[in-house]
Amino acid sequence: MKTTLKLSFALLLLTVWACGDSDPDTAPPVVDIPGLEIPEGGATSPTSYAGMTLVWEEDFEGSSLSSQNWRHETGRGDNGWGNNELQYYRPENTSLVDGNLVITAKREDFSGSPYTSSRIISQGKQSFRYGRIDIRAALPEGQGMWPALWMLGSNFSSVGWPACGEIDIMEMVGGQGRENEIHGTVHWQNQGAWVNFGRSTTLPQRQAQDEFNVYSIEWDENQIKWFVNDIEFNAIDTRPAELNEFREEFFFIINLAVGGNWPGSPNNTTNFPQHFIVDYIRVFQEN
């Protein structure tokens, strides 16, 4: 059972036009989000773990995205953000609804792109080294959809990719029956070459869309482990010297790409708009 926000539902919420705090004296505008369905159920995660402390939590409450935690990346990126993606990222495609981040992908022409979506990053605002990270989210569906919860090394601006390292907590590529396959991957540089390692796990059909699931990593100086709903499905030993990237601080990225090298382009089976919903992010570190 889901809660559906219809065009006729008079809900006051703010579509984020820029990364910043809202004026408390200004009422947020009425924004209609056609087809948005926020799941009522699904997996949850604890607010504490033995031997660990909750050091940061983003629950997306309020009417605007926190400028202390996030900023938008906009535009078409270089070569479609390096992946031949088709969307134009805009702040207008980000909303906060009932304590959830909602990123909406639309089929619309904008600045030379046939689709729009959003991408938010915590670079320069929130970054972490090691710990348990839990992210509760519900995913979109359809050929060409590519939601991701991921991290880049905080030295990205100075050393570039892949030398900064990349931790993909969760990726899904839509279409062709792939919506129930969840991927966890790392990327790094070894002797000047790009290297990656990843595995996937399979959920029951439509669970990733119809319910919230918790996507997690446990990360320390020796290894990274990946979980869905606290069930481990991937791990990598990061002790070798060529994996030193993963002993540095990383920042968060949340985005919904449309098209690209991995998922391929949307087709006539892809329904728009599509929504990527994130309930919370929690970061725990050892006491």
**Identity of the highest mean pLDDT range in 9-13, 20-24, 150-154:** 150-154
Verify whether residue 171 is a known catalytic residue: yes
| Distance in angstroms (rounded) separating the CA atoms of residues 131 and 109 | 41
> What is the predicted pLDDT for the residue at 35?
86
Marked catalytic residue, from 58, 171, 179, 245:
171
pLDDT beyond 50 at 147: yes
CA nearest to 245, candidates 168, 163, 130:
163
Question: Residues 58, 85, 166, 245: which is the catalytic one?
Answer: 166
- Express each pLDDT in 184-236 by its tens digit: 999 999 999 999 999 999 999 999 999 999 999 999 999 999 999 999 999 99
CATH architecture, domain 2-286: Sandwich (2.60)
Encode pLDDT of 228-283 as tens digits.
999 999 999 999 999 999 999 999 999 999 999 999 999 999 999 999 999 999 99
Nearest residue to 3 via CA among 29, 45, 32, 41: 41
